[in-house]
């Protein structure tokens, strides 16, 4: 089975970071930017690096982008170029298009013109940092939708030695513990009597508002 092929358009901090990580994971990566210096810096790392204007339809067609599994439009502050590039790629028949948005308005436009997924790297990083500031126990907070999310929470001192029933995460906060990680072992669908030990990590799902209450509760304990 052949490995997925990715094309990254826009080699600023976000785009170049994505290209590097995908390359490190041994995927084929085509990196594209209109700045020759950025292209040159990534050339030794990715499969192919090309200087091109992504708003030039013929240039994009010549690169055969419709043959790539995923194309990421990671263009930075030039919103007009981001939108025009997304339009061109959809017209070329790119199978899956992921586009970076600067703000909600930009994101809505990208979704409306055909982006399969819109991402907000700056906003998401700010959200992640805010959650970790509220409670240092929060290792990860992922919003699945505007209403629901998942958190990875390191066991707080007030949790250790108690079982899930005693913690009352479902009864008090309306959240469900999906799993407990103890070292390299993962306890999927833990029972009410399962004890929390020092060093455990809880994987919890619930409404974002309930997860926020849970985080604040253990952040203040």
For the ranges 58-72, 117-131, 187-201, the lowest mean pLDDT is seen at 117-131
Q: Give CA–CA dist 100/158, Å, rounded.
A: 40
Return the SS3 of 109. Answer: helix
pLDDT in tens, 66-110: 999 999 999 978 999 999 999 999 999 999 999 999 988 999 999
The owner of tokens 């979704």 is 111
Choose from 125-134, 136-145, 181-190 the range with maximum mean pLDDT: 181-190
So what's the pLDDT on residue 1? Answer: 46
What contacts 24+ positions apart, CB below 8 Å, involve 26-30?
A: 27/3, 28/3, 28/4, 29/5, 30/5, 30/6, 30/63, 30/65, 30/68
pLDDT in tens, 22-42: 998 889 999 999 999 999 999
Q: Give CA–CA dist 28/219, Å, rounded.
A: 42
So what's the pLDDT on residue 2? Answer: 59
So what's the pLDDT on residue 182? Answer: 92
Task: Count how many Cα atoms sit within 13 Å of the Cα of residue 184 in the half-sphere of its side chain.
Answer: 0
pLDDT at 220 over 80: no
pLDDT in tens, 176-202: 999 999 988 999 889 999 999 999 999
Task: Count how many Cα atoms sit within 13 Å of the Cα of residue 47 in the half-sphere of its side chain.
Answer: 15
For the chain, what percent of residues have pLDDT higher than 70?
93
pLDDT in tens, 151-165: 899 998 889 999 999
**pTM, 2 dp:** 0.66
């Amino acid at each position: 089975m052949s490995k997925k092929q990715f094309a990254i358009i826009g080699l600023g901090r976000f785009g170049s970071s994505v290209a590097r990580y995908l390359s490190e994971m041994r995927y084929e990566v085509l990196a594209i930017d209109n700045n020759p210096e950025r292209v040159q810096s990534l050339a030794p790392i990715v499969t192919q690096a090309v200087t091109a204007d992504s708003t030039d339809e013929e240039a994009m067609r010549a690169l055969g982008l419709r043959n790539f599994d995923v194309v990421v439009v990671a263009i930075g502050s030039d919103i007009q170029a981001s939108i025009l590039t997304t339009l061109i790629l959809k017209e070329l028949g790119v199978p899956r298009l992921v586009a970076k948005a600067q703000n909600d308005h930009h994101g809505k436009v990208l979704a409306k013109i055909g982006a399969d997924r819109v991402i907000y790297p700056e906003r998401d990083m700010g959200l992640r940092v805010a959650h970790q500031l509220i409670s240092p126990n929060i290792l990860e907070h992922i919003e699945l939708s505007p209403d629901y999310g998942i958190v990875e929470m390191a066991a707080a001192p007030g949790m250790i030695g108690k079982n899930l029933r005693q913690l009352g995460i479902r009864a008090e906060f309306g959240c469900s513990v999906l799993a407990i990680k103890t070292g390299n072992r993962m306890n999927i669908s833990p029972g009410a009597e399962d004890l929390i030990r020092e060093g455990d990590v809880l994987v919890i799902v619930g409404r974002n508002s309930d997860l926020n209450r849970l985080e604040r509760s253990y952040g203040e304990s």
